[in-house]
Amino acid sequence: MTKLEKIAINVRECFDQLWSFKLRGTDTIEISTPYSTTTSKFVSIYVTERDGKYIVSDGGLLNSEAYESEIDYENQCLLKILYHFESFYEVKRTQDKQGIKHYYKTTIKENLIPNMVYEMAQFVSMCASAATVQFEDPKEIEERNTFRTKATSYISTNFQKYKPKFRAPLDKQDFRSVRFSAIIERKNKLSLVSYITGSNPANFRNSIARANMNFEIATSSKYNDYIDNKLVLVNNTADGFVLNQIAKQLNILEEHTGQDAIQWSEREKLLAILN
């Protein structure tokens, strides 16, 4: 046996030791793979047998930040990367009752499972790693996340009876990239809510532009007849809220939605509109 052959055998043996298996209930097995992320986490893949079909999934770990990387579904750069990987690996996506997204592949052929496990592990590894890339200024990310948390908490508390959906797409199939900060359904009518904020005027204007684009797409979609309100919640406490630098953009947005923007300091106006 040559020295190179010994090296190859050693590599194979080392990786074999990184694979491990654990039963989860009666119909699911967790496979810990040797594939890792840039956050130094090894990827786990779940194989479930159900009604003669095999489901190979990430178990919801990618969306639940188990790999210490947040999938920001409002980050258009990151979304393009994720959608590319979804298409390349032919991965499907669903959402459970807790709102956690699950990525998966299915087959009825047992011999295809090893290849699917390999592809899902690659998919999760690359998506989790891509999510750690700093696409934006950290100050802007903190501003957006902080306001989103406050606004979502307010809406969740005051409109709990309507079971609002947050960071939800207009349609999971045709309009999955058209996301609103909150979607509230009442009496078969939809109220679409977009949060507007920014750490500086330029980012504030970008936030307005994204909201305006989403509202335009919603207006031209098959859902237009079901839309009751197009609401904009503006963070007037943000550093980027400099009225003389954002007023024109806000006016255009208000003309399109047909409703005045609601400032965060006057958020109780939402109560009169949605209750």
Domain ranges of the chain: 3-130, 138-274
| CA separation for the pair 247, 201 (Å, rounded) | 10
Cβ–Cβ < 8 Å for 57, 106:
no
The fraction of the chain above a pLDDT of 70, given in percent, is: 96
Residue 126 pLDDT exceeds 90: yes
Would strands 227-234 and 262-263 be described as parallel, antiparallel, or unpaired?
parallel
Average pLDDT, stretch 113-135? 90
Instruction: Quote the pLDDT of residue 15.
Output: 66
Phi/psi of residue 77, each to 5°?
Answer: -65, -45
Instruction: Quote the pLDDT of residue 7.
Output: 62
pLDDT grade, residue 8 (50/70/90)?
Answer: low
Average pLDDT, stretch 90-98? 88
| CA separation for the pair 45, 33 (Å, rounded) | 7
CATH entry 3.30.70 includes domain 3-130: no
| CA separation for the pair 126, 35 (Å, rounded) | 10
pLDDT grade, residue 97 (50/70/90)?
Answer: confident
Domains 3-130 and 138-274 share a fold: no
Instruction: Quote the pLDDT of residue 194.
Output: 96
Contacts of 210 by beta carbon, 8 Å cutoff, 6+ apart: 74, 194
Average pLDDT in the chain: 89
Domain 138-274: give its CATH code: 3.40.1350
Q: Is this prediction's pTM over 0.85?
A: no
Instruction: Quote the pLDDT of residue 17.
Output: 72
Question: Between 92 and 100, whose confidence is greater?
Answer: 92
Residue 221 pLDDT exceeds 70: yes
